[in-house]
Structure 1
Amino acid sequence: MDLHQLEAFLAVAEELHFGRAAERLHIAQPPLSRTIKQLERDVGAALFDRTTRSVRLTTAGEALVEPARQVLDDVRSARRAVKSAGRGETGRVRVGFAGPSSHLLVGQLGRLVRERHPGIELNLRSTTYGHEALRAVVNGDLDLAIARWVTEPPGISHRIVSVEHYVLVVPEEHPLARRELVSMAELRDEPFIALPADPGSSVRDHFLRFASAAGYAPNIVQTAPDSWTLMALVGAGVGLTVTLDTAVNNVVQEGIAVVQLEEGLVPTYCWLAWRRDDANPALREVLKASEVALPTPDLEQAPS
């Protein structure tokens, strides 16, 4: 039994006339009759009662009608799915990001992809820090990452989607809470809360570089798995933290104050990154949408 036989069978079953069925299929009647006979041999049963005046379905033929329609519908659906996937109309794009600092960006991208390409599924993976996300993109576990880095990774195409600044977050009763600007050199004796060293966060890397440039290794009294926990611990008075203004802006936490960090006056960037040789058609469409949802900022106009 093959698709050609099922198409011929349905044409005869619906027309109940070999001549009309042949015209519908754009073939001559003798080849159609041979196809039906071959199908009957294959299934081991007569599918039609034929007389010189009429054609009727047998019980076996009636039993085959719906399964034959289902098979042909499934084949047509499969062909449409393949064509749609090849055009990037359907598919899956796996996106990694680090947490609240990227939530606004993820939301904007997700909304536009949903509007433009409802057949594309965005598989979102949060708390995926920069180093981890980039490794996942390179080895094919992620298709796209919203990430930050100190050194540009090889094999990655990328584009800036946000300008950010590092700030100091302190308990609201801390003496520094009333300062407008503070430098890392002044924080030598302060207790700090930081993101974990593994799997590797660019926010932690920048914090350690700032402290090293000021001539000391920071006193990290507590690590936290994400920015929400960082802010909660600062609000509880456990210590101070250096983080991004975009992270603070997306976390609601009482009992904290945000102070401009001198080292953070120089802007840093958030990037959209993907594997340079990735041929996923759905990713191509998501990247097109990202140019509208997450346009590259005017760096000349970015605040300093």
Structure 2
Amino acid sequence: MEIRWLEAFIAVAEELHFGRAATRLRLAQSPLSQTIRKLEKELGEQLFDRSTRSVALTPAGHAFLPHAHRVFEELELGRQSTRATSGEVYGTVSVGFSGALNHLTLPPLTRAVRQRYPEVTLSLTARVVTRDGIEQLEQGGLDIALVGLPIAPSPVHTRLIGREPLGAALPVDHPAAGESAIDLADLAGDGFIASPATAGSALQELTLQACVKAGFRPRVVQEITDPYMVLTLVSAGVGVALMPSCVAGIMPSASVFVPLRDDPTFMDHALAWREDNPSPVLRAVLEVAEEVLPTPEK
């Protein structure tokens, strides 16, 4: 089995079109088809269902795809390791983050990595809530995730990088919008905008905890996972939301952030990664993170 056979298989599996895959690989379509047939003969299984109109992975193709990806991941790790022996840090680290909630933590990290290691690429994936981030780390889809604590038992390792009290995001025409601080119980009659309960968002869980502690369960009128879209809907007057204090400086027009007088409920931000991830470039990025995103004192 040759590496170029796997490369051809991955291209067809991702494009599900032999013509597009051939263009991607800079090949004619006929040699590409021959390569796929050689791979199928080597494996003794058909990897694609082909018709004149469509291409689809067979069950065997679906089963083989993650292993083909892993071969190329191992090759990349090998390249990184050989260059690391000469002191050069090179490669790609995939980072998942939620969006607006990370606007004080992600930029310092990406800027510092770019300045320290110009040959390192950070591949950024937005709208990754805590549970999705942990699952992708466990499955190898991400190297680092910015998550909220606590997390469920997992082989994933976390380090606290920020701690912020929750406050209220309100429309400007809300009766409490002009207050310097409010009691959370004052919002018991309002409709809340929150992430779906099934989304696995740490902020959604903290919102429920804070409201129950204040003596009520929030009446959710709109569910959405993107934190900045939550703020946008608040500014549109759809409802109110609880958000960490980091958003105070990025509130959309027609909305305000008001601190809470209650005993604070904190949003704990963390970096998460797999300790058994062998990537040397990941270690370099985590060392930079230790410098620019130190663990705060509680």
Q: Give TM-score, length-normalised by structure 1.
A: 0.66
1:279 is matched with: 278
The structure that has the greater radius of gyration is: 1
SS in 2 for 1:108: helix
Give the letter for the 2:218 counterpart.
Answer: P
Deviation above 6 Å: which 4+ runs of structure 1?
none
Write the distance in 2 (CA, Å) between the matches of 1:101 and 1:88: 33
| 1:166–1:244 CA contact under 8 A, matched in 2 | yes
Write the distance in 1 (CA, Å) between the matches of 2:191 and 2:217: 11
1:254 is matched with: 253
- Does the alignment pair 1:111 with 2:111? yes
| 1:182–1:262 CA contact under 8 A, matched in 2 | yes
| 2:210–2:265 CA contact under 8 A, matched in 1 | no
Measured on the aligned residues, the alpha-carbon RMSD in Å equals 2.2
SS in 2 for 1:279: coil
Distance 1:81 1:142, change over 3 A: closer
| 2:244–2:266 CA contact under 8 A, matched in 1 | no
Write the distance in 2 (CA, Å) between the matches of 1:261 and 1:160: 23
SS in 1 for 2:105: helix
SS in 1 for 2:150: coil
| 1:204 CA drift (Å) | 0.7
Write the distance in 2 (CA, Å) between the matches of 1:81 and 1:157: 23
Write the distance in 2 (CA, Å) between the matches of 1:239 and 1:118: 44
2:210 is matched with: 210
Q: Deviations over 1:70-118 (max 9, x none)?
A: xxxxxxxxx9765115667112111111111212321111111112222
How many residues are aligned here?
A: 220
| 1:168 CA drift (Å) | 0.4
1:84 is matched with: 83
SS in 1 for 2:163: strand
| 1:269 CA drift (Å) | 1.7
Distance 1:153 1:121, change over 3 A: farther
Write the distance in 1 (CA, Å) between the matches of 2:262 and 2:127: 25
| 1:233 CA drift (Å) | 1.4
| 1:167–1:244 CA contact under 8 A, matched in 2 | yes
SS in 1 for 2:200: coil
Q: Structure 1: give runs of 5+ residues left out of the alignment.
A: 1-78, 300-304
Write the distance in 2 (CA, Å) between the matches of 1:283 and 1:273: 12
| 1:120 CA drift (Å) | 1.6
Give the letter for the 2:147 counterpart.
Answer: A
Q: Deviations over 1:152-203 (max 9, x none)?
A: 5421222211121111011112111122332332322111111233432111
